[in-house]
Amino acid sequence: MQNFSDISVIIPVREGSSRIKEKIFLPFHQNISLLEWKIAQLKKVQSDNLIFLSSNSQRVKEIAHLMGVEFLPRSDYLSDGHQASFSEVITGIIKDIPTNHFAWVTVVVPLMSPQEYSEGFNLYIDQVVNQKNNDSLVSVNLLKEYLWNDKKPINYKATKEHTISQDLPNIYKVTNGLYMRNKKDTLSEGYFLGANPYKHIVSKISGVDIDEYDDYQIAMALKQLYFYDSIK
């Protein structure tokens, strides 16, 4: 394990979900839940005492204790998606971390591997902290696809001047898997990304974000590829 001693890993957790009931507790692999799976992944990258589950849930607190990571209590107000703004949630959580930097990691992106997290942490230290080329980091998928809005193509011409996919402009999809920034600027600006984030390109399967039940089924089906990539 590398030394990431000034980075707190935040895993924000709410029991409530408007689309999938108790989503974070869905079984994912060998009788462990999505939440336990995510904790196990991060324990391969960061020390247990710098992994924080942020929640108002007693059940989540018990899981944190059982898995040897920290529990960061969150008020009911900050845990209700219909009350607090997302900016309030971010700053309300980040203000209590003990380090100058943090990684915001979501449970519902299960196929981002420990190797990719480690790569992201190292890129953040190199590009943001040391070289100061960027002010934050976000995990993305690079899209080379034909995209339309409601009226017309937005990245190519749907005419005889059709662009081959390799020549399409770079467009990036945020995977929702990893955000990294320093605590000071986050508290000042109210968000976990700055104006010039480093785009950490991750694998396509790392972009699977469980929002609907279909996404959960897709993630389950892709586990075999996840383990194959880890071995390779």
> Cβ-count burial of 94 within 10 angstroms (0-12 exposed, 13-18 middle, 19+ buried)?
buried
Asked if residue 202 lies in contact with residue 141, where contact means CB atoms within 8 angstroms, the answer is yes
The pLDDT value given to residue 184: 98
How far is 43 from 34, CA to CA, in rounded Å?
Answer: 14
The predicted-structure confidence for 219-228, as pLDDT tens digits, reads as follows 999 999 998 7
Of 37, 79, 25, 33, nearest to 54 (Cα)?
A: 79
Contacting residues for 158 by C-beta, under 8 A, at least 6 apart: 146, 152
Dig out the tokens for 178 from the structure. Answer: 């990893």
Asked if residue 153 lies in contact with residue 109, where contact means CB atoms within 8 angstroms, the answer is no
Q: CA 194, 54, 100: angle at the middle one, nearest 5? A: 45
Please, what's the b/e burial string for 118-129 (b: 16 or more CB within 10 A of its CB; e: otherwise)?
Answer: bbbbebbbebbe
The pLDDT value given to residue 80: 81
Q: CA 120, 40, 216: angle at the middle one, nearest 5? A: 85
Distances (CA, A) of 201 to 91, 204, 226: 26, 9, 16
The predicted-structure confidence for 170-227, as pLDDT tens digits, reads as follows 999 999 999 999 999 999 999 999 999 999 999 999 999 999 999 999 999 999 999 8
The pLDDT value given to residue 19: 60
Distances (CA, A) of 91 to 14, 44, 108, 121, 123: 16, 26, 21, 21, 24
Asked if residue 102 lies in contact with residue 8, where contact means CB atoms within 8 angstroms, the answer is yes
Average pLDDT over residues 111-126: 97
- pTM here is 0.94
The pLDDT value given to residue 232: 54
Average pLDDT over residues 6-17: 88
The predicted-structure confidence for 64-116, as pLDDT tens digits, reads as follows 999 999 999 999 999 887 789 999 999 999 999 999 999 999 999 999 999 99
Band of the pLDDT at 2, cuts 50, 70, 90?
confident
Average pLDDT over residues 131-151: 97
Contacting residues for 110 by C-beta, under 8 A, at least 6 apart: 28, 34, 37, 38, 208, 210, 219
Q: CA torsion 194→34→51→115, rounded to 10°? A: -70
Asked if residue 69 lies in contact with residue 59, where contact means CB atoms within 8 angstroms, the answer is no
Domain boundaries, the chain: 7-230
The pLDDT value given to residue 21: 73
Portion of the chain with pLDDT greater than 70, in percent = 96
Topology (CATH) of 7-230: Spore Coat Polysaccharide Biosynthesis Protein SpsA; Chain A (3.90.550)
Distances (CA, A) of 203 to 15, 147, 229: 28, 20, 10
